């Protein structure tokens, strides 16, 4: 037999549970326990609300009876977690001709009429889904009732229990609706999440005396700094004060009338209530209150809405005032929230005219004029005009343009494409793989089907956090790296138990990473040091060298430049480990592709254009990612690695002479066979011996291998015998395990994820089942052969919380990630360690 659904009055001892009655009901009980002036309130459990949706009502006579005759009631939703939403609040249930007459006696006919009309309108629109337009404008209760009757073909109900039954039923059913279900599931709600409801006696004040309603909070929602903000509306109800122009300030304010001017004691009582809630509920609460002839009632309190920055500020402030322990402050911040502090962001609620959407490849937002080439980007920067570099895809040639631009937009590519990796390193927002952009570099236009054509110079905003490309300039909020953020990072450092290093290619990156605090450089991609104009030319000379002698001459010119780079890095890192990866990309990436560039190169090298074009063609590969790159270049053109090793050792000597003893770490990329390591190692040992003899200074170095091919993972045992460390390059390892080009995957990745072929883009989130298994296997085989082996993960995944957890559990020594991912990785590492 089905039992009658029940309800519980919220008293200090009632059995109210968050997982049965929802968050709001539980919170109200806590306020009651704190002796706050909460009006009589009843909680309906998830089961009761389910029964109501099925057509079974609790004993509403008894429920309404609890509040006394003529009481007006509010009904609010109470889901388990506020983020899961719920139907909106309905006020003034119980309003009928009789209560309206009674109210007219005490409040005057105007107040009674306004309250009654408002209720009829909300009952008609929210309970019976009638057209809101029929109830708009200056209408009286009589007209509102007539409009209701015309649509419903029955009079407006006068019985409070009938009204309440309809309100409860409509709210219970709204919760079961498909849209509501999808919305809450997107917020992480389980399929069977329940809704609780809270019925509360309304405090409606007499016309005379200080009466009205307000909402107040004690921190700024933008910064989290202490600050009373809120509004109070004399004679108002509910949250009306937040939307009505006639509302007043809470605290005395030179800009206009404030509640404190007429009711200082009540405002002080609100301050005290906030202080008590902060201490006992351990949260910053926003309070909804009413005054009835000066008497304060607290109707509701919710977690104060806040930006990412405010979220960090509040957690740190609560810990500093010993309301919560530090560990809890660390645990309260979802790691990705920090992205909202490190970069400029499009302001929440700002207008967004979305032109198209691509893959969110580097977080943050920027506004600027569209440019289509490095030349246009640098010219724009020289004029002081912010620009957005738009390319089909980027290559090392575009680096200067990327430095000059505020953000990067590419038609192709994904999260580990060249554009994305460089943008993250530079801290620039990037949207990659915006495949619906039709880019015409010759006409200098972009077209999105159905939209107007965009030309060079038109203003767009890129939101690299959402992947959206917006038309025009959007309103932004600035990053905030000091104060609470710095403190949180300090606490994370104390708590975490895995190293966090940075992928830093230039002294600028290293300096940026030092602002976040890191345990060293885990990956310095040395090729990125060759991208300035002079070095690029010498590099090209080296590539075009006819013989070993000419090649050596070019490399001799590069050597001092590299040495200076390393000296700077060592200095900046102050004795912390620096892992330098030897040259990795295919050589053709250093060559121009367009006609203009080829002609300029021919001129610089004093060669016929046809020769240059031929040579460039000869260097082209069908699949350069699997071609002549990494250690394959090291074996076939050994002079490059030799030059780099010499530069590293000479820099080591120079830096050690200045003080800090440096032990450089040299890393070989794209290894597939043990023999590759042996060959490169013996060449590097030879160079080390030469530099020692020549300088008379002794030094050591550590040689390691990047495990980024499946074979290197499988053969990690024998490779480890020649390696002090193995660093898993999960970008290439993902590419090669899946047989999926990291530059082209963007074209179909969203279709794959949408259809559930992949649960996530494996370049974004480490594929623990496949790639992860290779990593674990390689780590295990490496450590078995060499127990003191250092293990690390340095692909772009390194900054993701899931990969940090994976690496910790696998006993890795550190992860290494892009500078701007360091804070997220540190916080995640701390949370896993707590």
Smallest gap from residue 584 Cβ to Mg ion (A): 6
Instruction: Note if 418 is an active site residue.
Output: yes
Of 123-131, 267-275, 297-305, 728-736, the segment contacting ligand PEP by CB under 6 A is 728-736
Note the helical H segments in 123-177: 141-152, 160-176
Residue span 178-217 as binding mask against ligand PEP, x where in contact by CB under 6 A, dash where not:
----------------------------------------
Q: 814 has which bridge partners?
A: 499, 792
Of 553-561, 609-617, 634-642, 729-737, the segment contacting ligand PEP by CB under 6 A is 729-737
SS3 state of residue 177: coil
Of 411, 505, 732, 767, the residue at the interface with Mg ion (CB under 5 A) is 732
Q: Does 708 bind ligand PEP (CB under 6 A)?
A: yes
Smallest gap from residue 332 Cβ to Mg ion (A): 36
CB-nearer residue toward ligand PEP: 345 or 730: 730
Could you give the CA distance from residue 500 to residue 517 in angstroms, rounded to a whole number?
9
DSSP 149: H
- Phi/psi of residue 525, nearest 5 degrees: -80, 100
CB-nearer residue toward Mg ion: 650 or 708: 708
Smallest gap from residue 766 Cβ to Mg ion (A): 15
Smallest gap from residue 712 Cβ to Mg ion (A): 11
Look up residue 718 and give its two tokens.
Answer: 């024998």
> Residue 767 binds what, of ligand PEP, Mg ion, none (CB under 5 to 8 Å, by partner type)?
none
Which residue has the CB atom at the shortest distance from ligand PEP?
A: 729
Could you give the CA distance from residue 237 to residue 328 in angstroms, rounded to a whole number?
37
CB-nearer residue toward ligand PEP: 23 or 394: 394
User: Which is nearest to 783 in space by CA: 703, 732, 723?
Assistant: 723
Instruction: Note if 794 is an active site residue.
Output: yes
Query: By the 8 A CB rule, do 701 and 689 touch?
Result: no
292 contacts: CB under 8 Å, gap ≥ 6: 203, 204, 205, 206, 209, 211
CA angle 474–477–483, rounded 5-degree value: 170
Smallest gap from residue 734 Cβ to Mg ion (A): 10
Residues 403, 794, 797, 817: which is the catalytic one?
A: 794
CB-nearer residue toward ligand PEP: 509 or 584: 584
Residue span 336-355 as binding mask against ligand PEP, x where in contact by CB under 6 A, dash where not:
--------------------
Smallest gap from residue 726 Cβ to ligand PEP (A): 13
Smallest gap from residue 708 Cβ to ligand PEP (A): 4
Segment 217 to 236, residues that bind ligand PEP, using CB under 6 A: none
DSSP 240: G
Q: Does 708 bind Mg ion (CB under 5 A)?
A: yes
Q: Is 696 left (phi over 0), alpha (psi -120 to 50) or beta?
A: left
Cα–Cα distance list, 332 to 3, 153, 226 (Å): 40, 53, 19
Of 584, 650, 665, 743, the residue at the interface with ligand PEP (CB under 6 A) is 584
Query: By the 8 A CB rule, do 575 and 598 touch?
Result: no
Could you give the CA distance from residue 430 to residue 779 in angstroms, rounded to a whole number?
33
Q: Does 710 bind Mg ion (CB under 5 A)?
A: no
Q: Is 70 left (phi over 0), alpha (psi -120 to 50) or beta?
A: left
Of 795, 799, 801, 819, the residue at the interface with ligand PEP (CB under 6 A) is 795
CB-nearer residue toward ligand PEP: 652 or 803: 803
Smallest gap from residue 669 Cβ to Mg ion (A): 6
Smallest gap from residue 364 Cβ to ligand PEP (A): 21
Smallest gap from residue 708 Cβ to Mg ion (A): 5
Cα–Cα distance list, 649 to 58, 692, 701 (Å): 82, 8, 9
User: Which is nearest to 217 in space by CA: 162, 278, 170, 161?
Assistant: 278
Look up residue 370 and give its two tokens.
Answer: 């569209």
CA angle 346–347–351, rounded 5-degree value: 85
Of 317, 794, 817, 827, the residue at the interface with ligand PEP (CB under 6 A) is 794
Could you give the CA distance from residue 200 to residue 504 in angstroms, rounded to a whole number?
58
Query: Residues binding Mg ion: what is the number (CB under 5 A)?
Result: 3
CB-nearer residue toward ligand PEP: 817 or 828: 817
> Residue 345 binds what, of ligand PEP, Mg ion, none (CB under 5 to 8 Å, by partner type)?
none
> Residue 397 binds what, of ligand PEP, Mg ion, none (CB under 5 to 8 Å, by partner type)?
none
Q: Does 772 bind ligand PEP (CB under 6 A)?
A: no
DSSP per residue over 256-273, as a string? Answer: B-BHHHH-HHHHHHHHHH
CB-nearer residue toward ligand PEP: 117 or 503: 503
Look up residue 69 and give its two tokens.
Answer: 């005759």
Angle between helices 822-833 and 801-809 (to 10 degrees): 50
Could you give the CA distance from residue 577 to residue 500 in angstroms, rounded to a whole number?
12
CB-nearer residue toward ligand PEP: 260 or 708: 708
Could you give the CA distance from residue 821 to residue 563 in angstroms, rounded to a whole number?
28
Q: Does 463 bind ligand PEP (CB under 6 A)?
A: no
Of 335, 433, 704, 729, the residue at the interface with Mg ion (CB under 5 A) is 729
Could you give the CA distance from residue 692 to residue 679 in angstroms, rounded to a whole number?
20
CB-nearer residue toward ligand PEP: 48 or 730: 730
Query: By the 8 A CB rule, do 520 and 578 touch?
Result: yes
Look up residue 585 and give its two tokens.
Answer: 């990309």
CB-nearer residue toward ligand PEP: 391 or 424: 424
Query: By the 8 A CB rule, do 318 and 310 touch?
Result: no
Look up residue 252 and give its two tokens.
Answer: 């005395």
Could you give the CA distance from residue 360 to residue 417 in angstroms, rounded to a whole number?
12
Residues 126, 274, 418, 797: which is the catalytic one?
A: 418
CB-nearer residue toward ligand PEP: 772 or 795: 795
Smallest gap from residue 794 Cβ to ligand PEP (A): 5
Segment 388 to 427, residues that bind ligand PEP, using CB under 6 A: 421
> Residue 795 binds what, of Mg ion, ligand PEP, none (CB under 5 to 8 Å, by partner type)?
ligand PEP
Of 197-205, 222-230, 394-402, 707-715, the segment contacting Mg ion by CB under 5 A is 707-715
Could you give the CA distance from residue 153 to residue 671 in angstroms, rounded to a whole number?
80
Residue span 730-759 as binding mask against ligand PEP, x where in contact by CB under 6 A, dash where not:
xxx---------------------------
User: Which is nearest to 745 in space by CA: 354, 363, 361?
Assistant: 361
Q: Does 729 bind ligand PEP (CB under 6 A)?
A: yes
Could you give the CA distance from residue 474 to residue 461 in angstroms, rounded to a whole number?
6
CB-nearer residue toward ligand PEP: 102 or 810: 810
Segment 497 to 536, residues that bind ligand PEP, using CB under 6 A: 523, 525
Which residue has the CB atom at the shortest distance from Mg ion?
A: 732
Smallest gap from residue 318 Cβ to ligand PEP (A): 38
Could you give the CA distance from residue 720 to residue 529 in angstroms, rounded to a whole number?
28
> Residue 496 binds what, of ligand PEP, Mg ion, none (CB under 5 to 8 Å, by partner type)?
none
Of 113-121, 426-434, 468-476, 725-733, the segment contacting ligand PEP by CB under 6 A is 725-733
DSSP per residue over 30-65, as a string? Answer: HHHHTT--PPPEEEE-HHHHHHHHTT----HHHHHH
Query: Which positions are annotated as active-site residues?
Result: 418, 794
Binding interface with Mg ion (CB under 5 A): 708, 729, 732
Binding interface with ligand PEP (CB under 6 A): 421, 523, 525, 584, 708, 729-732, 794-795
């Amino acid at each position: 037999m089905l039992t009658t659904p029940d309800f519980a009055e919220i008293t200090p001892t009632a059995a109210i549970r968050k997982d049965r009655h929802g968050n709001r009901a539980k919170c109200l009980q806590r306020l009651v326990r704190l002796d706050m002036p909460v009006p009589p309130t009843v909680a309906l459990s998830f089961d009761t609300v389910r029964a109501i949706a099925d057509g079974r009502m609790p004993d509403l006579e008894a429920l309404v009876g609890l509040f006394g005759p003529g009481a007006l009631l509010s009904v609010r939703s109470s889901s388990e977690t506020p983020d899961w939403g719920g139907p909106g609040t309905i006020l003034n249930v119980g309003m009928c001709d009789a209560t309206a007459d009674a109210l007219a006696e005490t409040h005057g006919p105007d107040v009674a009429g306004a309250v009654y009309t408002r209720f009829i309108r909300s009952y008609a629109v929210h309970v019976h889904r009638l057209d809101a337009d029929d109830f708009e404008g200056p209408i009286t209760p009589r007209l509102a009732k007539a409009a209701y009757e015309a649509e419903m073909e029955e009079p407006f109900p006068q019985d409070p229990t009938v009204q309440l039954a309809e309100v409860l039923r409509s709210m219970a059913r709204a919760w079961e609706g498909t849209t509501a279900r999808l919305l809450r599931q997107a917020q992480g709600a389980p399929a069977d999440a329940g809704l609780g409801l809270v019925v509360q006696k309304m405090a409606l004040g007499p016309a005379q005396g200080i009466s009205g309603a307000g909402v107040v909070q004690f921190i700024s929602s933008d910064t989290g700094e202490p600050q009373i903000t809120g509004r109070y509306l004399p004679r108002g109800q509910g949250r009306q004060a937040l939307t009505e122009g006639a509302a007043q300030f809470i605290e005395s304010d030179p800009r206009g009338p404030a509640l404190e001017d007429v009711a200082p004691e009540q405002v002080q009582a609100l301050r005290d209530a906030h202080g008590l809630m902060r201490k006992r509920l351990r949260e910053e609460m926003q309070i909804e209150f009413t005054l009835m002839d000066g008497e304060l009632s607290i109707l509701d309190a919710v977690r104060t809405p806040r930006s990412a920055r405010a979220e960090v500020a509040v957690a740190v402030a609560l810990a500093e005032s010993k309301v919560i322990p530090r560990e809890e402050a660390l645990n309260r911040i979802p790691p990705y929230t920090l992205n909202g502090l490190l970069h400029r962001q499009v302001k929440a609620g700002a207008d967004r005219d979305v032109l198209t959407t691509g893959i969110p490849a580097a977080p943050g937002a920027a506004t600027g004029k569209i440019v289509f080439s490095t030349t246009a980007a640098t010219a724009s920067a020289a004029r002081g005009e912010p620009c957005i570099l738009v390319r089909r895809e980027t290559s090392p040639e575009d680096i200067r343009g990327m430095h000059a631009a505020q953000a990067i937009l590419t038609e192709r590519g994904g999260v580990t494409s060249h554009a994305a990796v460089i943008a993250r390193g530079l801290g620039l927002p990037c949207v990659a793989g915006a495949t619906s952009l039709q880019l015409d570099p010759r006409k200098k236009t972009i077209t999105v089907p159905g939209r107007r054509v965009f030309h060079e110079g038109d203003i767009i905003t890129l939101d690299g956090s959402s992947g959206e490309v917006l038309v025009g300039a959007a309103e932004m909020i600035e990053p905030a790296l000091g104060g609470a953020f710095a403190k949180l990072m300090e606490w994370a450092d104390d708590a975490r138990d895995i190293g966090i290093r940075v992928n830093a290619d230039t002294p600028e990156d290293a300096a940026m990473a030092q602002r976040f605090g890191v345990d060293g450089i885990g990956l310095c991609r040395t090729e990125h040091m060759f991208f300035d104009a002079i070095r690029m030319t010498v590099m090209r000379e080296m590539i075009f060298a006819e013989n070993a002698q000419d090649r050596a001459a070019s490399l001799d010119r590069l050597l001092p430049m590299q040495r200076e780079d390393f000296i700077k890095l060592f200095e900046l890192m102050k004795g912390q480990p620096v892992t330098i990866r030897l040259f990795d990309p295919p050589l053709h990436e250093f060559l121009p592709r367009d006609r203009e560039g080829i002609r300029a190169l021919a001129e610089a090298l004093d060669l016929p254009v046809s020769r240059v074009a031929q040579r460039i063609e000869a260097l082209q590969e069908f699949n350069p990612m699997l071609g002549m790159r990494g250690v394959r270049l090291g074996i076939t053109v050994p002079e490059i690695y030799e030059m780099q090793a010499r530069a590293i050792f000479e820099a080591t000597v120079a830096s050690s002479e200045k003080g800090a003893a440096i032990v450089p770490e040299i890393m070989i990329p794209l290894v597939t066979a043990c023999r590759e390591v042996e060959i490169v190692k013996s060449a590097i040992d030879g160079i080390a011996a030469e530099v020692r003899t020549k300088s008379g200074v002794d030094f050591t170095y550590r040689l390691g291998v990047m495990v980024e091919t499946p074979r290197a993972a499988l053969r990690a045992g024998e490779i480890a015998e020649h390696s002090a460390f193995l660093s898993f390059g999960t970008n290439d390892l993902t590419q090669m395990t899946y047989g999926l080009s990291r530059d082209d995957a963007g074209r179909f990745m969203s279709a794959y994820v949408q259809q559930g072929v992949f649960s996530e883009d494996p370049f974004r989130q480490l594929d623990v089942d496949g790639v992860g298994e290779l990593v674990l296997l390689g780590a295990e085989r490496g450590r078995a052969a060499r127990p003191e082996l250092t293990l690390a993960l340095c692909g772009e995944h390194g900054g993701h919380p899931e990969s940090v957890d994976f690496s910790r559990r696998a006993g890795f020594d550190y992860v290494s990630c892009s500078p701007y991912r360091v804070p997220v990785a540190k916080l995640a590492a701390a949370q896993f360690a707590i």
